[in-house]
Chains A and B, each alone.
Chain A
């Protein structure tokens, strides 16, 4: 257990429905990341927060995806009008960002989304 938690762990939904996932990072970590991972592939970066500010977004993050981190603690990732291609594992990671450019990211267990 890395200290990063994600809920729910599994989500099955029908195409066209909206879903929301939550990530609770390690409490002292100011950086939070979302990744998507499909079977047999490595995680793909989606977006990154420094405190409550969303500083980077991947081109993978279509208009149907939105992420928030309102108080700089937990984060939510919402997918609107889900498509079958959204089926994947959604991973959250957190790190402590300081003067060092790169910092170890601690990953949560992920939320597995299945869109029927």
Chain B
């Protein structure tokens, strides 16, 4: 299977600061990446995606950066809020477009 990993299992940030969550992937042929947020007891929630023909994509308070040279993906959250506390997963779109390979996850804790 594919290998999608995260650099840090946990991250704590002060409320109002920016958060950066990193992810490494191994399949250089991957062409679609997604970030999901998962709160306790809930299923993953889509945050933002990016295709390999882009290196940056912005959403509301979130930015995803893709560096294909080093096979690295990051999620930036601006002005982190307590409601952002959750586990964040990066996922890689499989070659068929129907499978997604998830990393282990990073637990983000926002300190009020």
| Given A42-B104, A42-B105, A101-B97, residue A109 in contact with residue B49 (CB < 8 A) | no
Measured in the bound complex, the distance between the Cα atoms of B98 and A105 in whole Å is 10
* CB <8 Å contact, B49 and A41: no
Measured in the bound complex, the distance between the Cα atoms of B2 and A42 in whole Å is 13
Q: Is B25 an interface residue (CB 8 A)?
A: no
Residue count of chain B within 8 Å CB distance of chain A: 26
Measured in the bound complex, the distance between the Cα atoms of B93 and A48 in whole Å is 14
Flag A79-116 by CB within 8 Å of B: 1 or 0 each. 00000000000010100000001111111111000000
Flag B84-112 by CB within 8 Å of A: 1 or 0 each. 00000101011011111111110000000
One of B43, B45, B89, B93 near A110 (C-beta < 8 A):
B43
Q: Is B41 an interface residue (CB 8 A)?
A: yes
Bin the interface of chain A by size. 20 to 34
One of A43, A44, A56 near B98 (C-beta < 8 A):
A56
* CB <8 Å contact, B102 and A109: no
Q: Is A2 an interface residue (CB 8 A)?
A: yes
Q: Is A33 an interface residue (CB 8 A)?
A: yes
Which of chain B's residues 12-55 have a Cβ closer than 8 Å to chain A?
Answer: 32, 34, 36, 41-46, 49, 51
Q: Is A65 an interface residue (CB 8 A)?
A: no
* CB <8 Å contact, B102 and A42: yes
Flag A16-54 by CB within 8 Å of B: 1 or 0 each. 000000000000000101000000111111001000000
* CB <8 Å contact, B44 and A91: yes
Expressed in whole angstroms, the minimum distance between the Cβ of A6 and any Cβ of chain B is 8
Measured in the bound complex, the distance between the Cα atoms of B101 and A105 in whole Å is 13
One of B46, B51, B94, B104 near A40 (C-beta < 8 A):
B104
* CB <8 Å contact, B100 and A105: yes
Interfacial residues, chain A to chain B (CB-CB below 8 A): 2, 4, 31, 33, 40-45, 48, 55-56, 58, 91, 93, 101-110
